Amino acid sequence: MKNRFLILSFMLLLVLISCQVDMDDEMDCVSLDILLLPNSLEEVYGCSDTRYLEVALSEDYALVRSQEEFEALVTGEGCSPEIDFTKYDLVIGKKGLPSGNTSIDYELGYTCNRGELLLQVTFNQNGYLEAPNITYHALIPKLGEGEYVSVELEVKTPVD
């Protein structure tokens, strides 16, 4: 009887330790593990300020996987490159902002607690009283069939 109690106690202890390790792993994995920096149409294809590209989106983003999709989505002058879609996929979107935009920062990586590819987009605002609709984009490594990327947006306003 004593041995049975010790064995059951030992097994319960192992289960509790295992659960604690899993919870600790998830807590450590809340942040984004940066794997790479995404490229831009400016860097790779020499486009000028793409924040003002005309894109057939509103407050949304799209994952573009072919030149045909790109040409159907992006209209107007300023940037019409032949993107190497064997190497890249393009995440592109539109965001209405409450004030002028100074720059956009991007971070790309896998979240360890969800195991998905995540693009974090940060809009760095200034004090100008304009309300622009800004295009954001990132050239990311070519995804496999059925793989997708999530996008999180953050707007940083200037400190008074």
User: What confidence tens digit (pLDDT) does each residue in 9-65 have?
Assistant: 554 444 545 444 344 444 445 455 556 678 999 999 999 889 989 999 989 999 999
Which of 101, 104, 94 minimizes the C-alpha distance to 129? 101
Q: Are residues 19 and 67 part of one domain? A: no
Q: Which domain holds residue 37?
A: 32-156
- Whether residues 10 and 77 share a domain: the answer is no
**Domain co-membership, 103 together with 126:** yes
Domain count, the chain: 2
- Confidence grade of residue 140 (pLDDT, cut at 50, 70, 90): very high
Q: Are residues 23 and 41 in the same domain?
A: no
Q: Are 5 and 57 in a shared domain?
A: no
pLDDT value, residue 143: 92
Half-sphere exposure of 114 (CA within 13 A, CB side): 12
Residues 59-115: pLDDT tens digits? 999 999 999 999 999 987 778 899 999 999 999 999 999 899 999 999 998 877 666
Is residue 13 domain-shared with residue 84, that is, in the same domain?
no
Residues 63 and 141 both lie in one domain: yes
Provide the pLDDT for residue 20.
42
